[in-house]
Amino acid sequence: MAKKYNICLDIGGTKVLGAIFDEEEKIIYRLKKKTKEGGDSSENVEEVIISVVEEMIKESGIKKKDINAIAAGAPGVINQETGVVLFSPNLPWRDYDIKTPLEKRFGVPFYIGNDVNVGVLGEYKYGAGKGYKNIVGFFVGTGMGGGLILDGKLFTGNQFKAAEYGHMVLNTEGPLCNCGQRGCLEIFSSKKGMSAYIREQAARGRECMLADKIENGVFKSKMLKKSIAANDTVTMEAVDRACHYLAVATGNMINVVSPDLVVYGGGVMEAVGDVFLEKIAAEVDKYCMPSIRTTVELKNAALGDDSILYGALSMINGK
């Protein structure tokens, strides 16, 4: 292409992570900024996005006229065609058109999609999912996100709301989730779910290395890693429970989709290595039809924290 750089963004609840890709699809510059400091309004997040893009251009020394496009993944229900964020649990945007002002500001096309959808797309095009056709992705972080590649394309369903299997009910008698349901995957297997279990056990007087590390309802993934390394009893109970229900959900999704790959990403997977994957793999056969299980592989994501950045890149180049 004539214009050789693409700018990709991972917009989170508290930060904007940016990267500049060169024409060989390598990341040549990175920047991360927090969003909360200057207030919590639509404008603030938009200002942080703008400042990340401008600072990256300036500091990397590339020319504005060499920028081909900008793309982003963000949490929530996002209309990928119009660039309107319909609803986001962690961002101050409701029916908010983020595409128009950014295209006006930078004079290049702007693309945006749901962060986990985009992350699974990234793994499909550049990571663990290369060469597969039907992929179920679980992204384990503060919450539990999902993304589906079906027949070789990102599947977003009616009005871009598909792949919310973080809230699939697995045990109708289970604990209550924020979403109002009982026993859905997120309440067992996300950082929020594991943290809630640890707090409950700590409240009963049991010791757990992670109990006093929980802030705003969650521990940090690297603290989880330490606590697993120390084989902390209550931590391992929370991990075993998380993996048990991830295995059940994986089995259900194998039965629903008959994928050729199930991929596990997100901050927790990135931090703990193969601990979760091995536990899930050991149990999943119990929860899906043997004839379907035989043709599906389970893998960890390969791009780590960059899944969403690479997925944004593939929204731009359509690859």
Please report, as ranges, the residues that interact with a second copy according to CB under 8 A.
77, 87, 133-134, 146, 148, 150-151, 153, 155-165, 167-173, 179-181, 245, 248, 251-253, 255-260, 286-292, 295-296
Question: Could you tell me if 279 and 239 are in contact, meaning their C-beta atoms sit under 8 angstroms apart?
Answer: yes
Which lies closer to a second copy via its Cβ, residue 6 or residue 250? 250
Tell me the closest approach of the beta carbon of residue 73 to a second copy, in angstroms.
18
Tokens of 230: 């120390």
**CA neighbor of 18 nearest in space, from 271, 308, 319, 270:** 308
Encode 138-167: b = buried (16+ Cβ within 10 Å), e = exposed.
bbbbbbbbbbbbbeeebbbeeebebbbbbb
Which lies closer to a second copy via its Cβ, residue 7 or residue 74? 74
CB-count exposure of residue 261 (10 Å: 0-12, 13-18, 19+):
buried
Which lies closer to a second copy via its Cβ, residue 44 or residue 258? 258
55-61: Cβ within 8 A, 24+ apart: 55/31, 56/7, 56/18, 56/19, 56/20, 56/29, 56/30, 56/31, 57/7, 57/20, 59/29, 59/31, 60/20, 60/28, 60/29
Tell me the closest approach of the beta carbon of residue 294 to a second copy, in angstroms.
9
Tell me the closest approach of the beta carbon of residue 250 to a second copy, in angstroms.
11
**84, β-bridge pairs:** 79, 97
Tell me the closest approach of the beta carbon of residue 280 to a second copy, in angstroms.
14
Which lies closer to a second copy via its Cβ, residue 156 or residue 314? 156
Dihedrals φ, ψ of 207, to 5°? -85, 140
**Angstrom distances, CA of residue 29 to CA of 8, 162, 170, 187, 275:** 11, 33, 42, 37, 31
Name 302's Cβ contacts closer than 8 Å, sequence gap at least 6: 123, 127, 128
Which lies closer to a second copy via its Cβ, residue 94 or residue 222? 94
Tell me the closest approach of the beta carbon of residue 290 to a second copy, in angstroms.
8
**Residue 240: enclosing H or E segment and its boundaries?**
helix 233-257
Which lies closer to a second copy via its Cβ, residue 162 or residue 238? 162
Tell me the closest approach of the beta carbon of residue 196 to a second copy, in angstroms.
18
Q: Quote the CA–CA distance of 96 and 115 in Å, as a whole number.
A: 16
**Angstrom distances, CA of residue 34 to CA of 48, 119, 161:** 8, 20, 27
Which lies closer to a second copy via its Cβ, residue 106 or residue 124? 124
Tell me the closest approach of the beta carbon of residue 95 to a second copy, in angstroms.
12
Tokens of 248: 């059940």
Cα dihedral 248, 178, 143, 309, rounded to 10, equals 120
Tell me the closest approach of the beta carbon of residue 48 to a second copy, in angstroms.
26
Which lies closer to a second copy via its Cβ, residue 140 or residue 271? 140
Which lies closer to a second copy via its Cβ, residue 108 or residue 162? 162
Tell me the closest approach of the beta carbon of residue 54 to a second copy, in angstroms.
34
